[in-house]
Amino acid sequence: MAKHYGSASSSISTKYPGRPLRSGQIRLVELFPGQWSDPIRCRLSYALLDDEPDYYALSYVWGPPHVTRDVWLDGISYPATKNLESALRHLRYLYPGLRFWIDALCIAQDDIQERTEQVGMMANIYRACTEVLIYLGDALDPSASHKNAPKTYEFTDSNNDLKLMEMFLGDAAVLPRTRHKTVRGGHIFAFIYFLSLYRLPESHMRYTPNAPFADNAECKDTGRTLLSEGLRRLINAPWTPWWDRMWVVQEVVIPSHARVIYGTVSAPWSMFAGAAMAYDLHVTSCCSHITRVLPDGLLRVCKDFAQRISDIETLRNEYRLWGPSNAITSPNGQGLLLLLRKFRGRKSSDPRDKVYALLSLVTATSALQMLPDYSLSVRQVFVTATLNGIWATKSLSVFQSDVDRKARHDLPSWVPDWGAAGDYGPLAARADATELYDASPGATKAIVLGKWQYKVEKMGLWRTMARDISRYPSFPPLGVKGGLVDTVTYTGEIMRSDFPLSVRSTITAWSLDYRRLTSDDSLSQVDRGDFWRLLCADVTHHTRLGLHQRALPDDEAMFVCWALKSERSPYTDGKHQSKVKPVLEEDVSTVYGRNWCSFMRGKVLRPTKLFPHCLSGADMHAAEPYLDERLEWREIRSPHSVVRGLNRSLMPTWGAESRIHATQNTGQLAATQMDHSIMTATLYRRMFVTERGYVGLGPALMDKGDEVYVLEGGKTPFVLRKEKGGNKVLVGDCYVNGWMDGELETERRDEWDYVFLV
């Protein structure tokens, strides 16, 4: 249901032929038999969900609403979008004699009341279906011009698919078998099946001699490029917009079984999930060597594919585990807020569906009994969703959702624009990681709206308030308790993109500012050795598992790996060399010198026969000449230069068995993890300094003179801006070294009062 309910009547003006529905009733579509090129003819039938009817549900994208083709519905010519007509043609051929639930044909789109009621039943409709059929289109296998039925290929996610893989990819499972410089859906599905074969931890890709990921693969770059382009078209708009739509999340999460149809080829969703699991499991860890074999383009598209599948598959597993009664929630009860963040970058023609499409995945309790209601405005829906976030979490976590990133101008500053377009991947991870902080320990106990105070724990009163306030044409200021702790006196450059050149330039500027601050004796709050914590906001993110944790002292070594290896690091010469620019050397040398023993033992060296536990204390002492502990060097020696020096000292006495080996992959994985952590913390943010000498990361729109507040129930401090009349504008949340664990919570707490946000 990746469609537009709000203005369906503008695209479908023909009178709908179906009769009115009773409570709990749905319509189903039966397709009449026909040749491939025959017009689509179908009829409506009616069923009560309580009677457990047999039917399949269709998940698809409507496509352009004004590009339609006529189908015959109950004997009446009825317009269907081009993509729907194509889907119906494939369903008639692939699944003869079955009944389907298809929103555009089973719901009277002009009837607002019926549309609202049916959307409210959506979870039950998809839960009760035999299987959901995911129609991705036929961009690689155009079939509209076919007069006869095209040959189809059905993958089963079993060993029976080996023949299909051999047919499409070749005996060596390497190069697409095609005479033309393009690939079809079969080639891409065969490649996905190939990936899925390695979903078990012990099935390493490096042990497959002729696979596309093998070091000795006899595969031309052309073949890999074709696979890359084909997979990119499968998962990206404009070729396959299904992946970017909001409604498809619940349409795939809720049903027990799902099947993907792409032109003339189909496969179970489990095959896609297995491929994503295999990629995440192997490519980023034990089989990371393939990153040196494959073109960057194929690696990027495989990573994108794995991420898109994993986001949905994770929810499917949670839904299977906890069941519809508990639905999707988190240990701290975030529920709807968690999903709004996770899928904020998806699209819907009607902005209200950015909220409504997720309601079926959370419990009625956690969603304050929100129901789809298309009589409400977008503004009213977004305000209600935000109030739900405050109530469900008993905190102000919803304020940590990039409230400053707005496309609409009619929303209060404290309400996120859930409909704003953009890539929210790093932003969602950053928002989730804020739960690791506790700047204001305890819950949000009450809020003030207008003249009334509402206690969060009073569920009934809160529901009444949320229902009433959502219908107000204008909203009074929101009052939350808090106190002013500091004022912004300086703001640095904005981290505007993750492009390496831009990142290096921004971090260089921040580093120079930070060093200037550490040389100012009046700013005693700034520790020169904590710059690395500032860059990652004191949180490390695991790239493969999607987990995050507060930074540990040993993570300083990870920062050194990043500084010496990452293409985004300003501390190299741009070619992954270890020579540090003199003007920036102290950032890395301070950390490197302070932690080099544990760094060498845990991150760089691997055991040998002579040193089964890597380096002992005596061995570390022998290595000291290669690292100047006084931190006066003009050049940081690379880990490998240290290893070479150790070998020169040890081998004359102990022989060849004493040779120490430097690990390549561990350091690179650490660098990758820190790189991900830094970009998650800094993207679209800027460094700032406060009047009291604290340094932090804050919203791109913050400015000199803004105020930093601690608010009751806020996991982070917040940047507020003065307005006339004493009200405040919420600019956004922020990170400040030394403020994230309740250090300021007791400062004049008894003097806190309500701060009113507009």
Backbone angles phi, psi at 629, to 5 degrees: -70, -15
Cα(518)–Cα(523) distance, integer angstroms: 7
- The string of pLDDT tens digits covering residues 18-77 is 999 999 999 999 999 999 989 999 999 999 999 999 999 999 998 888 888 999 999 999
Flag whether pLDDT at 491 surpasses 80.
yes
Residue 100, both tokens: 């389907």
From residue 438, give the alpha-carbon distance in Å to each of 334, 392, 735.
16, 17, 11
Residue spans per domain, the chain: 8-130, 153-239+265-313, 326-420+443-473, 484-491+684-757, 497-682
Give the percent of the chain with pLDDT over 70: 69
Looking at residue 2, its pLDDT comes to: 46
Q: What is the identity of the amino acid at 1?
A: M
| All residues at 6 or more sequence positions from 225 whose CB lies less than 8 Å from its CB, including other chains | 295, 297, 298
Look at residue 718 and give its three-state secondary structure.
strand
Residue 198: Cβ within 10 Å count: 24
Q: What is the pLDDT of residues 542-576, one digit of tens each?
A: 765 567 899 987 787 788 778 877 888 887 654 43
Coil, strand, or helix at residue 708?
strand
- Give yes or no for residue 584 having a pLDDT over 60: no
pTM of the predicted model as reported, rounded to 2 decimal places: 0.78
Q: Rounded distance, CA 152 to CA 150, Å?
A: 6
What are the tens digits of pLDDT across the range 279-292? 876 665 555 555 55
Express each pLDDT in 249-275 by its tens digit.
Answer: 999 999 999 999 998 899 999 999 999
Within 19-137, residue ranges assigned H as helices are: 82-94, 103-106, 112-120, 122-128
Greater pLDDT, 23 or 475: 23
Per-residue pLDDT of 328-359, as tens digits, reads: 444 444 478 888 988 888 888 899 999 999 98
Helices 459-469 and 378-393, interaxial angle, to 10°? 160
b/e map of 488-499 (b: 16 or more CB within 10 Å)? beebbbbbeebe
Q: Strand 76-81: give its sheet, edge to edge.
A: 76-81, 68-73, 41-48, 25-31, 99-101, 56-59, 132-135, 258-262, 265-268, 153-154
> Where do the DSSP E strands lie in 616-706?
661-662, 685-690, 695-699
Q: What is the pLDDT of residues 377-414, one digit of tens each?
A: 899 889 888 988 888 888 999 998 888 888 888 899 99
Report how far residue 160's alpha carbon sits from residue 167's, in angstroms, rounded to the nearest whole number.
12
Q: Mind giving me the DSSP string for 461-492?
A: HHHHHHHHHTT-SS-PPEEEEEEEEEEEEEEE
